[in-house]
Amino acid sequence: MSLLTGHPIVDDDGWRRHPDARFVIPDQWGPHLETLLLPDHPHLMPIAVALLITADDEDGIYDDFHLEAFYTGPLSDWLRTQDDDPSWMLRYDRFVEMLLLTFLDRLIRWGMLAVRVNGAAMECRLMLPAGFGDEVAEDDEDDW
């Protein structure tokens, strides 16, 4: 099993997503991140983990997604170490914006994420390619 390729569609509910992937919840998504992203795409793990910890447990949706708020909030929180000042956060700029948009687009094209425009913000929704996360064992708890 591997990441999907191809072009995303926009479904009837407005989600831009890969047509061969399905919506999942964080408990289904988390256990497959390392398999899907490592070793070939380790640079996407921090973004994936930040999406995982911010997505709603019941539907896998991160409402009111703003690139800068995500970058300086959940992503900074996850990357902060014990040696950093508690107020430390990543610095957002136009270069970072381009990278984040590119990385989110990759997750969409690979069948790991869906996005939908919601006014001035976006909604992000967790997805998995076919064959991943079809069932979740009780001991598949995530330590992220």
- Taken in order of first residue, the domains within the chain and their CATH numbers are 47-131 (1.10.10)
Kindly provide the residue ranges of all beta strands, DSSP E only, lying in 75-120, ordered along the sequence: 113-118
Kindly provide the residue ranges of all beta strands, DSSP E only, lying in the chain, ordered along the sequence: 9-10, 16-17, 21-23, 61-65, 113-118, 121-129
Q: Is the peptide bond before 19 cis (omega within 30 degrees of 0)?
A: no
Give me the tens of pLDDT residue by residue for the chain, a chain 144 residues long: 568 888 899 999 999 999 999 999 999 999 999 999 998 999 999 999 999 999 999 999 999 999 999 999 999 999 999 999 999 999 999 999 999 999 999 999 999 999 999 888 899 999 999 888 665 444 444 444
d(CA 122, CA 75): 17
In eight-state DSSP terms, residue 7 is: -
Q: The tokens of 143 are what?
A: 């330590």
